[in-house]
């Protein structure tokens, strides 16, 4: 369905448009009317609009087990969807997103087909989820679930927020804490849930110290307020704030909301607005909505408005070229065509050279990865070897208890490699961004050269292309639950072992164990190296094809404008005046759109 262009733009009236979306629809309607030369611009608008539509705000709910994280999400949804219990429960990170219907999708680590459910009601959905996300029904994630997505038509979610329910930290499943820490950089903000029973613990303080550097925006919730009277609430909150400042190292204004998720959920279920306010969640929700509108949405809208403006500037330039070309004598137009053709040939040669330099940088970055993998291998061997030696030293006769050792290694591996995965990804993110930056600049210069050459030939103003976003390393989401190989294949002692002197026996056992640990290290490092290499290559591939496409589009747009004008001159000499008038009108409308884009409201008019 085509959306109509706002009247004031049709009529050329200035005015303040409310929504960026509306402006983009308007620009699309205009390019449609201009004809097939502008199909690539239309596609670019569509792509930006999809991004605007799909961009999601990742809001993680973090905290120690049993603080009420899942109950809080249920209260915000207004239905008991996520399983909650009095024992440590949520074992798999669960993404809750907006959808037309209620349902879920469960993905698995081995790539087998995802299980899906379209639920009739919250009870059915909750029972389905319990089978996969709870420690009770899916102990130690024996079903190999990698991620669970829940879809819900709640108004809050359709605003573009994805709530992420995380496994509680500090439970007996230690690698859950590492996994949670590693996915933090991908969260746009987090809600940290604590409560008075017991008061904030050492584990929470340590966790918060780590979170502080990884998540830019944190909002604190002090849950289960219904257990406390007013005086106790004040005391508990004061204590919580002191710990946040003095132990966890936070400073400045600390947004702490005292809430009762249980009461909030009851209020939503019974439709009691007063009780919802009393639960403290009303005020918290208001704060959150404000924060969302002012934070990410504003940044995203501004970025999209900038890009839209850039496309509009390109369109205007094409229109100017066409207008000029339609007015030039045919012989001059031919000269311009040839000069531009020569310039484009030159830019093409330079872009091939730039491609070779980029390939060199890709190779150097892969070599750097190999070096990193080597360091990690050494580090992991030392760490696990240390555990092995500790066991040997602590056991009678220096012969390690192989079962106990296997358990210790199995516990240490996910912890070590989850942390290293996070470290390695962060190092690579930085490195790849640094390496690609000059290439990006060079590509932009080449695009600028084409535009400048056309502008000079046709004596029209030159519009520099807007700088693109910083290109970043592609990667899989951290919340994918990794399966780190961690079991030692114990070699049973040979009969002759028993006959050997103790020292020889000990040395034989230790050697076998060392070989086993090395094999495990190699296997895990190889997994990590392989995954990072795939991401690295994918990033460079996408960067190269993206830049080539940009150059191709700029070339095609400039040449296309001249070619279209040339053909019109040849075939429709009698209607030239009408054509020029039409193009000038279009030019004026795009100028209007450009002006409106400059004042696009940051909140996209969602209020
Ligand atoms: N009184 C009271 N109990 C609550 C409140 N919020 C949650 N609970 C209870 O606390 C228990 C734990 O709640 P969950 O939502 O499962 O906690 P969680 O943080 O998701 O726990 P894990 O998934 O194990 O990390 C449940 O019995 C809830 O009913 C609250 O505001 N007040
Ligand atoms: Mg939970």
Secondary structure (H, E, C), 173-193: CHHHHHHHHHHHHHCCEEEEE
Nearest-CA residue for ligand 1 atom 6 is 68
Does 226 sit in the ligand 1 pocket, CB within 6 Å?
A: yes
Residues 417 and 449 in one domain: yes
Higher pLDDT, 438 or 289: 438
Residues 548 and 592 in one domain: no
135: helix, strand or coil: coil
Look at residue 418 in the predicted model and tell me its pLDDT: 76
Mutate to test the pocket of ligand 1, among 60, 71, 176 (most ligand atoms within 8 A of CB): 71
Instruction: Look up the domain containing 462 and give its range.
Output: 333-571
Question: Is residue 314 situated within a structural domain?
Answer: yes
Residues 35 and 172 in one domain: no
Assign 473 a pLDDT band (cuts: 50, 70, 90).
low
Order of all β-strands in the sheet with 218-223: 115-118, 103-108, 145-152, 94-98, 161-165, 57-63, 189-195, 218-223, 256-258
Q: Quote the number of domains for the chain.
A: 3
Angstrom distance (rounded) from CA 402 to CA 490: 8
Per-residue tokens: 502: 């103790």
69 Cα: distance to centroid of ligand 2 (angstroms): 5
Per-residue tokens: 171: 């439970």
Residues 203 and 115 in one domain: yes
196 Cα: distance to centroid of ligand 2 (angstroms): 17
Give the atom of ligand 1 at the shortest distance from the alpha carbon of 227.
1
Which ligand is located closest to the Cα atom of residue 87?
1
Which ligand is located closest to the Cα atom of residue 227?
1
Nearest-CA residue for ligand 1 atom 2 is 224
* 115 φ/ψ angles, rounded to the nearest 5 degrees: -90, 135
144: helix, strand or coil: coil
Assign 1 a pLDDT band (cuts: 50, 70, 90).
very low
Does 67 sit in the ligand 1 pocket, CB within 6 Å?
A: yes
247 Cα: distance to centroid of ligand 1 (angstroms): 25
Question: Is residue 7 situated within a structural domain?
Answer: no
Assign 472 a pLDDT band (cuts: 50, 70, 90).
low
Confirm if 507 and 400 have CB atoms less than 8 A apart.
no
131 Cα: distance to centroid of ligand 1 (angstroms): 19
Mutate to test the pocket of ligand 1, among 62, 66, 130, 191 (most ligand atoms within 8 A of CB): 66
Assign 114 a pLDDT band (cuts: 50, 70, 90).
very high
Residues 95 and 44 in one domain: no
pLDDT tens profile 325-381: 888 888 888 888 899 899 999 999 999 999 899 999 999 999 999 999 999 999 999
Look at residue 10 in the predicted model and tell me its pLDDT: 43
Residues 209 and 338 in one domain: no
Angstrom distance (rounded) from CA 214 to CA 187: 9
Alpha helices in 225-329 (DSSP H): 230-246, 261-270, 273-278, 281-294, 296-327
Residues 126 and 261 in one domain: yes
Nearest-CA residue for ligand 1 atom 32 is 224
Residues 341 and 475 in one domain: yes
Assign 27 a pLDDT band (cuts: 50, 70, 90).
very high
Question: What residues contact 254, with CB distance under 8 A and at least 6 apart?
Answer: 220, 241, 244, 245
507: helix, strand or coil: helix
Q: Is the confidence at residue 491, as pLDDT, over 80?
A: no
Which candidate, 170, 171, 148, 160, places its Cα nearest to that of 93?
Answer: 148
Nearest-CA residue for ligand 1 atom 10 is 68
Q: Per mean pLDDT, which range of 84-88, 162-166, 455-459, 515-519 is the poorest?
A: 84-88
221: helix, strand or coil: strand
Which pTM does this prediction carry? 0.65
Q: Is the confidence at residue 14, as pLDDT, over 60?
A: no
Which candidate, 42, 40, 46, places its Cα nearest to that of 30?
Answer: 42
Sign of CA dihedral 396, 400, 401, 405: positive
Per-residue tokens: 521: 């290290």
Assign 607 a pLDDT band (cuts: 50, 70, 90).
very low
Question: Is residue 152 situated within a structural domain?
Answer: yes
Higher pLDDT, 51 or 265: 265
Q: Per mean pLDDT, which range of 52-66, 274-288, 290-304 is the poorest?
A: 290-304
How large is the average pLDDT for residues 227-239?
Answer: 92
pLDDT tens profile 413-434: 877 887 787 778 778 878 888 8
């Amino acid at each position: 369905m085509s959306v109509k262009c706002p009247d004031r733009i049709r009529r050329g009236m200035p005015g303040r448009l409310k929504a960026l979306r509306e402006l983009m629809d308007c620009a699309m309607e205009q390019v449609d009317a201009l004809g097939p030369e502008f199909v690539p611009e239309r596609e670019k608008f569509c792509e930006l609009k999809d991004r605007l539509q799909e961009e999601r705000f990742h809001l993680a709910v973090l905290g120690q087990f049993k603080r009420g994280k899942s109950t809080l999400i249920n209260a915000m949804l207004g239905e008991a969807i996520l399983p909650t219990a009095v024992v440590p429960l949520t074992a798999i990170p669960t993404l809750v997103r907006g959808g037309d219907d209620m349902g879920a999708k469960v993905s698995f680590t081995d790539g087998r087909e995802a299980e899906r459910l379209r639920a009739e009601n919250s009870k059915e959905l909750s029972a389905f989820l319990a089978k996969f996300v709870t420690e009770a029904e899916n102990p130690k994630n024996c079903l190999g679930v990698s991620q669970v997505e829940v879809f819900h038509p709640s108004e809050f979610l359709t605003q573009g927020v994805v709530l992420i329910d995380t496994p509680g930290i500090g439970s007996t499943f230690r690698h859950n804490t590492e996994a949670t820490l590693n996915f933090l950089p991908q969260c746009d903000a987090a809600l940290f849930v604590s409560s008075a029973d017991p008061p904030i613990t050492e584990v929470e303080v340590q966790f918060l110290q780590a979170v502080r550097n990884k998540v830019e925006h944190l909002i604190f919730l002090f849950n289960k307020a219904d257990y406390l009277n007013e005086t106790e609430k004040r005391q508990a909150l004061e204590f919580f704030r002191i710990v946040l400042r003095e132990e966890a190292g936070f400073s400045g204004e600390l947004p702490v909301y005292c809430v009762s998720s249980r009461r909030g959920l009851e209020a939503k279920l019974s439709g009691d607005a007063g009780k919802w306010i009393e639960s403290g969640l009303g005020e918290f929700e208001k704060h959150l909505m404000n924060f969302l509108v002012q934070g990410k949405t504003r940044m995203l809208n501004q970025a999209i408005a900038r890009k839209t403006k850039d496309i509009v500037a390109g369109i205007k330039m094409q229109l100017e070229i066409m207008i000029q070309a339609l007015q030039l004598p045919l012989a001059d137009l031919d000269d311009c065509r040839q000069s531009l053709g020569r310039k484009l040939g030159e830019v093409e040669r330079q872009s091939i050279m730039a491609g070779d330099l980029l390939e060199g940088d890709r190779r150097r970055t892969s070599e750097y990865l190999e070096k990193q993998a080597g360091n990690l291998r050494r580090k992991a061997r030392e760490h696990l070897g240390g555990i092995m030696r500790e066991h040997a030293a602590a056991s009678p006769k220096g012969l390690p208890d192989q079962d106990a050792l296997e358990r210790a290694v199995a516990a240490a591996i996910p912890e070590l490699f989850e942390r290293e995965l996070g470290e390695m990804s962060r190092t690579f993110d930085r490195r790849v961004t640094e390496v690609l930056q000059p290439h990006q600049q060079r590509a932009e210069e080449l695009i600028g050269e084409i535009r400048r050459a056309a502008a000079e030939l046709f004596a029209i103003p030159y519009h520099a292309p807007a700088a693109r976003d910083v290109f970043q390393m592609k990667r899989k989401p951290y919340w994918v639950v990794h399966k780190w190989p961690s079991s030692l294949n114990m070699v049973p002692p040979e009969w002759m072992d028993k006959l050997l002197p103790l020292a020889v026996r000990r040395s034989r056992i230790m050697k076998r164990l060392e070989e086993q640990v090395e094999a495990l290290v190699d296997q895990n490092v190889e997994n990590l190296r392989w995954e990072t290499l795939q991401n690295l290559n994918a990033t460079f591939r996408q960067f190269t094809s993206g830049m080539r496409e940009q150059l191709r589009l700029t070339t095609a747009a400039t040449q296309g404008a001249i070619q279209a004008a040339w053909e019109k001159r040849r075939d429709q000499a009698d209607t030239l005046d009408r054509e020029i008038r039409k193009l000038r009108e279009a030019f004026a409308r795009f100028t209007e759109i450009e002006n409106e884009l400059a004042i696009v409201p940051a909140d996209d008019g969602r209020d």
